[in-house]
């Protein structure tokens, strides 16, 4: 593996979020959320939170992720460095599918929050 700093300033930065990069690297590695969670010793919900940018892995987990996913730490954090090797067509379809699933989960969470706010407002209005 080449040094992260060998061409760090000459390559284009991956402008995705940390979560998006983690999701793509996991897909490129051919791992499910559950498989990656088992390898790291965390819950699947933790991986999902990282991939949806609701939380970020701690330093020790970031190093483990880079190793398991065969990417550089700088690529995960900043979008520069050793990125996953992706088969353009099938990985693009998988990546888009993953992003769509992610959006659906976020939409469900948003719907739940909206419902809770509506309930709270109705309860507040009823109590005057």
Supply the mean pLDDT for the chain: 84
Q: Where are the domains of the chain?
A: 18-126
What is the pLDDT, as a whole number, of residue 87? 57
pTM across the whole model: 0.59
Closest CA to 51 of 74, 28, 79, 25: 25
Q: Which pLDDT tens digit goes with each residue over 83-119? A: 777 655 666 777 788 888 889 999 999 999 999 999 9
What is the pLDDT, as a whole number, of residue 99? 87
Name the pLDDT band for 127 (thresholds 50, 70, 90): confident
CATH no., domain 18-126 = 1.10.260.40
User: Residues for the chain: how many in total?
Assistant: 128
Buried b (16+ CB within 10 A) or exposed e, 39-57: ebebeeebbbbbbbeeebb
Which ranges in 32-87 belong to alpha helices (H)?
33-40, 44-51, 59-69, 73-78
Q: Which pLDDT tens digit goes with each residue over 20-53? A: 899 989 988 889 999 999 999 999 999 999 999 9
Q: Which pLDDT tens digit goes with each residue over 51-68? A: 999 999 999 899 999 999
């Amino acid at each position: 593996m080449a040094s992260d700093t060998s061409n760090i300033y000459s390559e284009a930065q991956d402008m995705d979020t940390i979560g998006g990069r983690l999701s793509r690297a996991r897909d490129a590695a051919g791992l499910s959320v559950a498989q990656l969670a088992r390898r790291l010793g965390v819950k699947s919900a933790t991986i999902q939170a990282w991939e949806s940018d609701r939380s970020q892995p701690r330093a020790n987990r970031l190093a483990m992720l880079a190793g398991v996913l065969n990417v550089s730490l700088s690529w995960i954090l900043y979008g520069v460095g050793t990125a996953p090797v992706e088969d353009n067509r099938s990985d693009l379809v998988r990546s888009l599918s993953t992003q769509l699933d992610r959006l659906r989960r976020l939409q469900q969470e948003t719907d739940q929050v909206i419902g809770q706010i509506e309930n709270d407002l109705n309860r507040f209005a009823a109590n005057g």
